[in-house]
């Protein structure tokens, strides 16, 4: 396998002051050298050959405390009878195949580096999935107390699995780690609740934490193509253990915008496509609000009294589970004082730290191999420290974060950074955006074309704003960095921007949006997009898509949607009073991005984002998923930016 040479430059710590730097003893190592796709593929092929030459595969049926058997495949180094290796566990609903003693995985563990360092890798189909027995429940609710010895949840299944592996699996050094990405990330978080004394290190990666904010929802707004396409296959019943998955849906067109618009109201999905075969889709449609059904699937309240070192990993460009990574870390931090708890956030798409080099997301280049840098300098040392070293305790930063705009790794002793200063960006008349509060215009020379009170637009569900220029039937990963010029040119998108910046400005952490709005209807969604506008003379990058020019590029760096009916409570929605100014507050998820000198910071506001988010009928109905065609009506929305009703975005700014 080709070895990766370090680049010639060192990455900065990026702490705010000399005093803060003095508190941070750790210097981040050099960046990894850039790796081409061809070189990366050659490395993958080399890994496959290495597995066959150096690992032994065994398959097990592991009985849980209630008698249900979970199918588990173990890969152990061939010298495991002489050298005591630790165990790394991965529990998944996505199949652990290939099944059968003579067929091997193409890769093992979190990375090639860790596979070559030597671990015993155990993979398990969770109960009710693929070759395991039992009943599968989506985001299976955890039990805070287990009344009997046969009460089970994902915590007990993890405990029983670890017990079996230690007693009946390949000989090990008695230490166990766990990792997983996305749904397996949820099982890794739930595995912490096993509180097994041998579980020394765990890395929930892009973990689902709460499905009212992860994956299928954002602040209660429904992410249509992601849920529709995923559940059509994943959600179908599996009566008996099987090694074969369900087929995906055939849309009959590459155009998802047209497909979902022709499907009509969401209630048509079952009649036209699902045919009642997906139980979880039916449950989803019956629970539009944050009720007991969703609250039981919120893992965060259970993440207390943990005994395991944690490294939570996520991607700032993760279109699926950005919320889960950030909030899993924050919850563990709050509920477990003194626990070894760390977070890493890179520039990655969903799972991008484990697949590919992470250098490009859409048309945006993030520099030399951030994925490989993380694998070698953060992930592998974390597990090695707690699972192999004589004195566990990784010397890693509390928060290792990748800064977009400058393309550098930074280390912080807390996230969000303590040194970040809270500032308020105000929407202003004539498309302005400023840290100065709005005025009523009384001291300014009034112009008939400038409204000092509000901006307005017509939002028409029959002609929604697309979320991307790309033609695709799904939720594209690249939409997180897409050029937003196509949207800023629409009359139903409000655009506000600063003047060209006179110095770099770094935003770090979550943002709080407060929109002061009015609508002629009784319901509406509100989308806020934070955008980095490149200077007009920005040179093109040869690695971008054909025909893409970076001069004037409007790179989306963060976006969020709020279903307006939930503005006061996610459990008790309520309609808008027509034509009445109403405050709509919501959190826009974290970022770490530097808007460079000469760039502009832009914010766009809109009410449709299709088909990424299902269409709001803009007429309030108790269950929005049961809205009829006649409920969908065009409405006029107003965004206020006057002193009495100042729409704003509260941000955290790092001192330069």
What is the predicted pLDDT for the residue at 7? 34
What digits encode the pLDDT tens for the residues 471-507?
999 999 999 999 999 999 999 999 999 999 999 999 9
Count of C-beta atoms within a 10 Å radius of residue 474: 15
Residue 649 has pLDDT above 60, yes or no: yes
Torsion of CA 647, 651, 655, 656, to 10 degrees: -80
The C-alpha torsion from 185 through 189 and 191 to 197, rounded to 10°, is 130
Indicate if the pLDDT at residue 380 is higher than 50. Answer: yes
Q: What is the reported pTM?
A: 0.92
State the Cα–Cα distance between residues 132 and 69, nearest whole angstrom.
6
pLDDT for residue 633: 98
Give the model confidence (pLDDT) of 44-62 as tens digits.
Answer: 788 888 999 999 999 999 9
Q: What is the pLDDT of residues 548-605, one digit of tens each?
A: 999 999 999 999 999 999 999 999 999 999 999 999 999 999 999 999 999 999 999 9
Three-class SS state of 518: strand
d(CA 303, CA 495) in angstroms, rounded, equals: 41
Q: What is the CA radius of gyration of the chain?
A: 25
Question: Which pLDDT score, from 0 to 100, does residue 8 have?
Answer: 29
| pLDDT of residue 9 exceeding 60 | no
CB atoms < 10 A from the CB of 207, how many?
Answer: 29
Closest of 58, 55, 345, 396 to residue 201, by C-alpha: 396
Distance of CA 360 to the CA centre of its chain: 17
Convert the pLDDT of each residue in 259-271 to its tens digit: 999 999 999 999 9
Those residues whose C-beta lies under 8 Å from the C-beta of residue 28, and which sit 6 or more positions away, are 10, 11, 12, 13, 377, 397, 400, 409, 410, 411
> Span 78-95, mean pLDDT?
95
Question: How do strand 408-412 and strand 399-403 relate by DSSP bridges?
Answer: antiparallel
Yes or no: say if 560 and 531 are a contact pair by the CB < 8 Å rule.
no
Which sign, positive or negative, has the C-alpha torsion 404, 405, 410, 415?
A: negative
pLDDT of residue 300: 97
Q: Mean of the pLDDT values across residues 374-389?
A: 96
**What was the pLDDT predicted at 27?**
58
Q: Are 325 and 316 in contact (CB under 8 A)?
A: no
Local structure of residue 281 (DSSP, 8 states) = H
Q: 183 near 214, Cβ under 8 Å?
A: no
Mean pLDDT in the chain? 92
Specify whether the CB–CB gap between 510 and 213 falls below 8 A.
no
Long-range contacts of 132-139 (CB under 8 A, 24+ apart): 132/68, 132/69, 132/70, 132/71, 132/241, 133/68, 133/69, 133/70, 133/241, 134/64, 134/68, 134/70, 136/93, 136/238, 138/211, 138/235, 138/280, 138/297, 139/186, 139/208, 139/211, 139/297, 139/299
Given a contact cutoff of 8 angstroms between Cβ atoms, the answer to whether 122 and 165 are in contact is yes
Mean pLDDT of 177-187: 98
What distance in Å separates the CA atoms of residue 592 and residue 504, rounded to the nearest whole number?
A: 13
Note the pLDDT of residue 443: 62
Which region holds residue 315: left if phi is over 0, alpha if psi is between -120 and 50, else beta? Answer: beta
**Segment 345-352 mean pLDDT:** 97
Q: Which tens digit of pLDDT belongs to each residue from 598-626?
A: 999 999 999 999 999 999 999 999 999 99
Query: What is the token pair recorded at 145?
Result: 């107390």
Task: Give Cα separations from 488 to 401, 426, 466, 552 (angstroms).
Answer: 30, 19, 11, 12
pLDDT reading at 19 higher than 50:
no
Residue 142's SS3 state is: coil
- The string of pLDDT tens digits covering residues 421-446 is 999 999 999 999 999 999 887 666 56
Q: What is the pLDDT of residue 18?
A: 32
- Of the candidates 34, 31, 40, 33, the one whose C-alpha atom is nearest the C-alpha of residue 12 is 31
User: Within a 10 A sphere around the Cβ of 572, how many other Cβ atoms?
Assistant: 11
Q: Are 77 and 109 spatial neighbours (Cβ–Cβ below 8 Å)?
A: no
Q: What is the 3-state secondary structure (H, E, C) of 573-605?
A: CCCCCCCCCEEEEEEEEEEEEEECCCCEEEEEE
DSSP one-letter string for 409-437:
EEEESSSS-TTPEEEEEEE-GGGBEESSP
Phi first, then psi: what are they for 317, rounded to 5°? -110, 25
pLDDT at position 29:
73
The answer on pLDDT for 293 being more than 60 is: yes
Look at residue 178 in the predicted model and tell me its pLDDT.
98
Here the tokens at position 178 are 């766990």
Rounded to whole angstroms, the Cα distance separating 194 from 470 reads 44
What's the pLDDT score for residue 446?
61
- DSSP letter at 112 equals H
Q: Where are the alpha helices (DSSP H) in 309-424?
A: 322-335, 370-374, 380-387
Mode of pairing for the β-strands spanning 69-77 and 55-63: antiparallel
pLDDT at 136 over 60: yes
The predicted structure's pLDDT at residue 42: 78
Residue 273, CA distances (Å) to 263, 276, 507 in order: 9, 9, 43
Cα separation, 577 vs 221, in Å, equals: 20
Q: Are 215 and 320 in contact (CB under 8 A)?
A: yes
Short-list 529, 515, 522, CA closest to 616: 522
What is the bridge-based pairing of β-strands 199-205 and 172-181? parallel
Share of the chain above pLDDT 90, in %: 87
Give the pLDDT of residue 3: 32
Determine the average pLDDT of the residues in 31-55: 80
Q: How far apart are CA 191 and CA 201, in angstroms?
A: 11
Answer yes or no: is pLDDT of 38 > 80.
no
């Amino acid at each position: 396998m080709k070895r990766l040479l370090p680049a010639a430059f060192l990455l900065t710590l990026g702490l705010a002051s000399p005093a803060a730097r003095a508190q941070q003893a750790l210097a981040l190592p050099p960046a990894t050298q850039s790796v081409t796709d061809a070189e990366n593929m050659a490395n993958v092929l080399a890994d496959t050959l290495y597995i066959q030459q150096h690992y032994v595969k065994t398959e097990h049926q592991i009985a849980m405390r209630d008698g249900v058997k979970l199918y588990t495949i173990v890969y152990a180094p061939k010298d495991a009878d002489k050298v005591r290796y630790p165990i790394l566990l991965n529990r998944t609903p996505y199949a652990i195949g290939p099944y059968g003693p003579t067929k091997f995985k193409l890769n093992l563990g979190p990375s090639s580096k860790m596979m070559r360092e030597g671990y015993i890798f155990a993979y398990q189909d969770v109960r009710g999935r693929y070759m395991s027995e039992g009943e599968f429940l989506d985001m299976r609710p955890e039990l805070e107390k287990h009344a009997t010895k046969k009460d089970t949840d994902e915590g007990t299944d993890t405990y029983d699995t670890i017990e079996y592996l230690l007693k009946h699996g390949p000989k090990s050094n008695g230490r166990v780690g766990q990792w997983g990405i996305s749904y397996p990330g949820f099982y890794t978080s739930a595995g912490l609740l096993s509180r097994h004394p041998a579980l020394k290190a765990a890395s929930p990666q892009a973990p689902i934490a709460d499905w009212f904010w992860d994956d299928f929802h954002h602040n209660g707004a429904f992410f249509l193509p992601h849920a529709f396409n995923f559940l059509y296959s994943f959600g179908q019943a599996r009566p008996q253990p099987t090694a074969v998955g369900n087929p995906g849906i055939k849309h009959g067109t590459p155009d998802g915008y047209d497909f979902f618009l022709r499907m009509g109201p969401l209630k048509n999905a079952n009649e036209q496509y699902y045919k009642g075969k997906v139980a979880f889709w039916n449950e989803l449609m019956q629970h539009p609000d944050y009720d007991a059904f969703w609250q039981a699937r919120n893992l965060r309240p259970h993440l207390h009294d943990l005994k395991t070192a944690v490294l939570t990993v996520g991607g700032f460009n993760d279109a699926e589970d950005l919320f889960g990574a950030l909030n899993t870390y924050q919850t563990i931090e709050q509920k477990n004082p003194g626990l070894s708890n760390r977070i890493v956030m890179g520039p990655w798409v969903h799972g991008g730290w484990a697949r590919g080099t992470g250098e490009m997301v859409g048309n945006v280049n993030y520099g030399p191999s951030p994925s490989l840098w993380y694998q070698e300098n953060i992930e592998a040392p974390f597990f090695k420290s707690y699972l192999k070293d004589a004195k566990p305790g990784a010397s890693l930063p509390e928060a290792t974060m990748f800064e977009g705009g400058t393309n550098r790794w930074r280390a912080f002793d807390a996230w969000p950074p303590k040194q970040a200063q809270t500032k308020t960006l105000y929407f202003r008349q004539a498309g302005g955006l400023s840290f100065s509060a709005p005025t009523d215009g009384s001291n300014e020379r009034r112009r008939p074309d400038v409204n000092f009170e509000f901006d307005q637009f017509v939002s028409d569900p029959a002609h929604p704003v697309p979320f991307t220029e790309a033609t695709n039937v799904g939720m594209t990963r690249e939409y997180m960095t897409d050029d937003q010029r196509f949207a800023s040119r629409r009359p139903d998108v409000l655009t506000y921007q600063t003047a060209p910046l006179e110095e770099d400005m770094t935003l770090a952490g979550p943002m709080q949006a407060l929109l002061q709005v009015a609508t002629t209807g009784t319901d509406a969604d509100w989308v806020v997009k934070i955008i980095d506008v490149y200077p007009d003379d920005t040179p093109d990058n040869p690695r971008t898509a054909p025909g893409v020019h970076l001069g004037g590029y409007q790179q989306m760096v963060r976006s969020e949607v709020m279903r307006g009916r939930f503005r006061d409570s996610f459990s008790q929605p309520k309609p808008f009073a027509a034509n009445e100014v109403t405050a709509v507050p919501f959190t826009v998820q974290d970022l770490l991005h530097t808007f460079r000198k000469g760039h502009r910071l832009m914010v766009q506001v809109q009410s449709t984002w299709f088909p990424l988010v299902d269409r709001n009928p803009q007429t309030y109905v108790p269950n929005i998923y049961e809205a009829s065609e006649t409920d969908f009506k065009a409405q006029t929305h107003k965004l206020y930016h006057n002193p009495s009703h100042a729409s704003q975005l509260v941000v955290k700014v790092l001192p330069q």
